[in-house]
């Protein structure tokens, strides 16, 4: 832990006003929505590996989730997960309404629009459930590991939390979304490969994570440890 930072517990962190928290939360929700909207249903192949196209950007939301928990504590990260959850639900509802609206006479883009934005209920449900469960596991593991490591070895908890969080995310999303549509072999292959790629992304982005975490902590001036924190996803939110 940086000796210039003031250690505080998770309860104090949840009640503290942070200068950059809102910006980090906005980035988290934006990347979450775009990666689910644009890349979730497309299969791509590079170098002989088949993977879901959303893997290119979706893991960045987990990196930001790590940053949120590391810098601002579990309680504030929990608020962001719920904000992302609500945003995903609204995106799904808006997509359903817009796709269902009767097209104007002479407009021939309905089929293309449906192919892009007309996700099935399975994909929507899989995205929302997998995100919710995976992000809470990710944040919980990171917060607990921070206490165990006494704030040292950031790389161990960002990678370790991703191993568990992304495993839960992938294990929920792909079977719910595609089992019976893709072959079982495809589902298992993409699920395992995507999990591995997500963890690899976390490893590759570790230097960037260190830089962002260090920059934010220096400006916020505190080191949050989630001692005494209520880790229930449904605990009452504290004002920031």
Summarised one tens digit per residue, pLDDT across range 33-90 is 887 777 656 777 888 777 667 777 877 888 999 999 999 999 999 999 999 999 999 9
Place of tokens 């260090």: 214
Give, as one character, the DSSP assignment of residue 136: H
Provide CB contacts within 8 A for 142, sequence distance 6+: 66, 69, 70, 157, 158, 160, 161
Are β-strands 222-225 and 6-9 bridged in parallel, bridged antiparallel, or unpaired? parallel
**Closest to 212 (Cα-Cα) out of 84, 68, 19, 75:** 68
pLDDT greater at residue 234 or residue 197: 234
Quote the pTM value.
0.89
Nearest-10 Cα torsion for 80, 83, 88, 90: -170
Number of Cβ within a 10 Å radius of residue 203: 12
Give, as one character, the DSSP assignment of residue 19: S
pLDDT of 197-217, one tens digit each?
Answer: 889 989 999 999 999 999 999
Q: Show the DSSP H helices in the chain as ranges.
A: 10-15, 21-39, 58-72, 74-100, 110-117, 121-148, 154-178, 184-204, 206-220
Q: Does domain 6-41+49-99+114-225 have CATH number 1.20.1050?
A: no
Number of Cβ within a 10 Å radius of residue 240: 16
Average pLDDT (132-142) is 97
Dihedral sign from CA coordinates of 66, 68, 71, 72? negative
The pLDDT value recorded for residue 40 is 58
Average pLDDT (145-165) is 96
The pLDDT value recorded for residue 240 is 47
pLDDT greater at residue 165 or residue 4: 165
Among 31-45, 112-126, 160-174, which stretch is predicted with the lowest mean pLDDT?
Answer: 31-45
Provide CB contacts within 8 A for 65, sequence distance 6+: 28, 77, 80, 81, 135, 138, 139, 165
């Amino acid at each position: 832990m940086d000796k210039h930072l003031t250690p505080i517990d998770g309860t104090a962190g949840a009640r503290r006003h942070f200068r950059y928290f809102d910006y980090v939360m906005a980035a988290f929700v934006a990347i979450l929505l775009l990666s689910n909207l644009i890349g979730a249903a497309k299969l791509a192949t590079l170098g002989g590996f088949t993977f879901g196209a959303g893997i290119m950007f979706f893991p960045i939301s987990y990196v930001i989730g790590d940053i949120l928990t590391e810098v601002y504590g579990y309680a504030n990260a929990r608020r962001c997960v719920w904000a992302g959850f609500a945003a995903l639900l609204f995106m799904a509802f808006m997509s359903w309404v817009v796709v269902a609206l009767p097209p104007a006479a002479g407009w021939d883009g309905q089929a293309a629009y449906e192919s892009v934005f007309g996700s099935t209920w399975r994909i929507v449900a899989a995205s929302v459930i997998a995100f919710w469960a995976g992000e809470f596991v990710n944040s919980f593991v990171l917060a607990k590991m921070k206490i165990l490591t006494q704030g040292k070895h950031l790389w161990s908890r960002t990678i370790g939390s991703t191993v568990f969080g992304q495993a839960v995310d992938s294990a929920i999303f792909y079977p719910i979304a595609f089992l019976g549509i893709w072959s079982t072999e495809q589902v298992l292959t993409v699920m395992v490969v995507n999990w591995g790629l997500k963890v690899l992304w976390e490893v590759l982005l570790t230097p960037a994570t260190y830089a962002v975490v260090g920059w934010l902590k220096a400006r916020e001036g505190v080191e949050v440890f989630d001692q005494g924190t209520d880790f229930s996803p449904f605990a009452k939110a504290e004002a920031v």
